[in-house]
A and B are shown apart, each in its own frame.
Chain A
Amino acid sequence: MASNFARILSSKRNVGILSLVGAGSLSVGFFLTREQYVSAGAQVRRLYPASADYPDLRKHNNCMASHLTPALYAKLCDKATPNGFTLDQAIQTGVDNPGHPFIKTVGMVAGDEESYEVFADLFDPVIKERHNGYNARIMKHPTDLESSKIRGGQFDDNYVLSSRVRTGRSIRGLSLPPACTRAERRDVERVVISALAGLKGNLAGKYYSLTEMTEKEQQQLIDDHFLFDKPVSPLLTCAGMARDWPDARGIWHNNEKTFLVWVNEEDHTRVISMEKGGNMKRVFERFCRGLQEVEHLIQEKGWEFMWNEHLGYILTCPSNLGTGLRAGVHIKLPRLSKDPRFPKILDNLRLQKRGTGGVDTAAVGSTFDISNLDRLGQSEVQLVQTVIDGVNYLIECEKRLEKGQDIKIPAPISQFK
């Protein structure tokens, strides 16, 4: 099918284009006419020198602020991606949100696939910091959705209340949520729901558009804990991804309510496989099968997912590059969670705890959301295996503590396999 490059050229019939389209800077002077000026990949109009526009990051603590020096800002501030996305747009969320009480936030987003290339000088160190030293210039990211490789993965239901795996996928050729126009967003919706309509068997399901759902449908989705609402987190709203809400946003789920797709929330799509209880193996099997079928269905229509061999699957937030995968459980750990060694155990197992309300919440009672810390540099199979092995260890610890036995902090597992 047509590459991204060809798609841009062929669709720009009515706009005069400069001879150079794509990544990298152009040294065009200020004397160009406006028509040439605003073409793809052209220089951004700047009234003030970079030093006058450099953001005040002295009170900031996010990955973007840690790496954006005045010199780097000056180097990148007049560049734009072929879709016109600029550095200022990429970093706006990090400028507007100095820090977060629980986690060091990333502080920047991509507006399209090319952002990661055009602004590589800033994205690369941010990716390196966020993803444990991953060097996007030279390292390769493994993609592996062969769920048959998983060993074990059926947890004790006395401890594990539910199992879930999520990721995101972006449609190549369309801008990402911070930058997309209404028509692009509607295109994403159209492409995705057309593909989902082709799913069969226990994946067959239905789409509920946010603009059109009935009150009854809305209530059912809330009761099922499926409904997502307009983002309120300033981390997201400052990046511009809530524009035009709820236009072209919706939720698709299969009839069995075990496979769910969010359309045009923080990414083009968020894909979620889940069920009550501890059968993570089955959750992951369905996850892989569903993703592969959706990919096949969009390819039939000439589309594909954004992916490359260094960054894996391309998503809006750099924290979700690679697999974009978060596999986790809701698990009761009343004794272990009170043990002072708990954080270290999680750390060495490459696991993360959250409250059961999601990333910005604290745990209630002693039920935790436990999931993989890592996203990039290991495959889906590797990460899910890490979660399975880790959760088994946690359950072992809990059981030992129940019997009054002591527990051990496990040796740290290696990060890039």
Chain B
Amino acid sequence: MPFGNTHNQLKMKYSAEAEYPDLTKHNNHMAKALTPAMYQRLRSKQTPSGFTLDDVIQTGVDNPGHPFIMTVGCVAGDEETYEVFKELLDPVIEDRHGGYKPTDKHKTDLNPANLKGGDDLDPKYVLSSRVRTGRSIRGFCLPPHCSRGERRAIEKLSVEALSALTGDLKGKYYALKNMTEAEQQQLIDDHFLFDKPVSPLLLASGMARDWPDARGIWHNDNKTFLVWVNEEDHLRVISMQKGGNMKEVFTRFCTGLTKIEELFKTKGHEFMWNEHLGYILTCPSNLGTGLRGGVHVKLPNLSKHSKFEEVLKRLRLQKRGTGGVDTAAVGGVFDISNADRLGFSEVELVQVVVDGVRLLVEMEKRLEKKQSIDDLIPAQK
């Protein structure tokens, strides 16, 4: 609950055992890492803004599991959450991010020149390309915890920064609560409009409070660069276009992000970042790069192949339906993206996607011709 930490002190009159959540039927990262002893040690703590352990874990307590993916089950309410509750979050991060240790360092690389190739994915198979990440503004609480005043301040700062973008990044902001019916329909047709979250994973963490106050969508006139304000994170930044030119998408992504960061700095603000966790976001699964680079790609034959899942795993790729994280694929068209977020740089992750998708398309073409793909099966990356 936002800034209402008085309640945490009242809980201390009950024993840790009496307050400990029932996680016997749970299967998420938080439930795996939390123990009664850890709960006892952490429950009297709070971040400077008043975020408590129970605030961190509420979404994981309320949502025992998910049919498709192993959920994280905890969120941060501010930058300090990752420090104050590191005893819980470090093992969660290690489990979620492939063994990432508390002492590891994360590399940030937003130089698109370092990406090799990526401009030639076959558009007969690769229908669209997209890269997204998130950014948080240092000094403000995150969506699960922010007050209305904070959220509005975040919106104001963000809109000011975005309105200073020029050239092919020049665009316009549409506040959710002010948009006209015509604007709303256009944004829906462009597949840009985000709606109030319905997923209980998000609702239980408190990030949908006061909807649609201070939420909105900004996009450039070309409709290839899009920013969501105050949805699951302060900012979600998306570069996208039809076809397979991931290099162009990534270049615009990096240029846009760098420019936005500069603009924030001129106003005395910076993004939450540190050399251990990279960019700080609400969900621990998005730490590091917060980057999901992916394509919508037609793989009707490959997706029926018995080795499909194994190939994806070895390529460090993940499949989703084209409706997003909670959907299944329709008509052999898959959303294929990087599985990792932390411990690899942005360039490295997009390279993984580019190289991996190229291979998947090659496999699809072989299977179309009824040829074997055995010699193409990769080793584990």
Contacts and interface: CB of A to CB of B under 8 A. Distances in A.
A96 interface: yes
Contacts of A64: none
Contacts of B262: none
B153 interface: yes
A39 B9 contact: yes
A194 interface: no
B62 A84 contact: no
Interface stretch (B87-95, B108-116, B203-211, B252-260): B203-211
Give 5 nearest A-B pairs by CB, closest first.
A84-B6, A48-B149, A52-B149, A183-B14, A84-B7
A81 to B, nearest CB: 9
A243 B21 CA distance: 11
B153 A15 contact: no
A211 to B, nearest CB: 7
B153 A96 contact: no
A162 interface: no
Nearest to A232: B200
B149 A53 contact: yes
Contact of A14 (B13, B49, B153, B203): B13
A96 B11 contact: no
Given A47-B147, A240-B1, 7 more contacts: A52-B148, A53-B148, A83-B6, A96-B208, A96-B211, A183-B19, A244-B22
Best-surrounded residue of B149, B203, B208 (most CB of chain A within 10 A) = B149
Interface string B1-45: 111111111111111001111100000000000000000000000
B7 to A, nearest CB: 4
A164 to B, nearest CB: 31
Contact of A52 (B9, B12, B153): B153
A45 B149 contact: no
B21 A55 contact: no
B150 interface: yes
Given A56-B213, A92-B209, A44 B7 contact: no
B13 A46 contact: no
Interface in A332-369: none
Contacts of A179: 7
A244 B62 contact: yes
A44 B13 contact: no
Nearest to A46: B3
Interface string A20-63: 00000000000000000011101011111100111110010000
A12 B18 CA distance: 16
A88 B62 contact: no
A4 interface: no
B50 interface: yes
Q: Size range of the interface on B?
A: 35 or more
B61 interface: yes
Contact of B150 (A38, A48, A54): A48
A89 B4 contact: yes
B4 A88 contact: yes
Best-surrounded residue of B7, B14, B153 (most CB of chain A within 10 A) = B7
A279 interface: no
Interface of B: 1-15, 18-22, 49-50, 54, 58, 61-62, 147-150, 152-153, 177, 203-204, 208-211, 213
Contacts of A48: 147, 149-150, 153
A38 B12 contact: no
A211 B203 contact: no
Interface residues of A, number: 47
A245 B2 CA distance: 21
Contacts of B177: 56, 59
Interface in A145-183: 179, 181-183
Nearest to B212: A56
A397 interface: no
Tell me the interface secondary structure of chain B in the complex: loop
A237 interface: yes
Contacts of A49: 149
A243 B58 contact: yes
A386 interface: no
B9 A85 contact: no
A96 B3 CA distance: 18
A353 to B, nearest CB: 31
A88 B149 contact: no
A84 B22 contact: no
B149 A184 contact: no
Given A47-B150, A55-B148, A183-B19, A95 B12 contact: no
Nearest to A247: B22
A263 B11 CA distance: 21
A88 B18 CA distance: 27
A269 interface: no
Interface string A230-241: 000000011010
Nearest to B5: A38
A84 B13 contact: no
B49 to A, nearest CB: 8
A20 to B, nearest CB: 14
Contacts of B209: 92, 95-96, 238
B210 A55 contact: yes
Contacts of A184: 14
Given A15-B13, A38-B9, A183-B11, A88 B2 contact: yes
Given A45-B50, A48-B147, A182-B21, A55 B213 contact: yes
Contact of B6 (A12, A38, A95, A243): A38
A385 interface: no
A401 interface: no
Contacts of B211: 96
A182 B9 contact: no
Nearest to B6: A84
Contacts of A85: 4, 7
15 contacts: A14-B13, A15-B10, A15-B13, A38-B5, A38-B8, A40-B6, A52-B149, A55-B210, A84-B5, A84-B10, A89-B1, A182-B18, A182-B21, A243-B62, A244-B61
Contacts of A182: 18-21
Contact of B18 (A38, A183, A240, A242): A183
A371 interface: no
Given A48-B149, A89-B1, A244 B213 contact: no
Contacts of B204: 243
B90 to A, nearest CB: 24
Contacts of B50: 38, 45
Contact of A84 (B4, B49, B58): B4
A184 to B, nearest CB: 7
A237 B153 contact: no
B269 to A, nearest CB: 15
B51 to A, nearest CB: 12
B150 A44 contact: no
Nearest to B58: A243
A203 to B, nearest CB: 30
B149 A80 contact: no
A92 B10 CA distance: 21
Contacts of A247: 21-22
A86 interface: yes
A179 B204 CA distance: 14
Contacts of A83: 6-7, 10
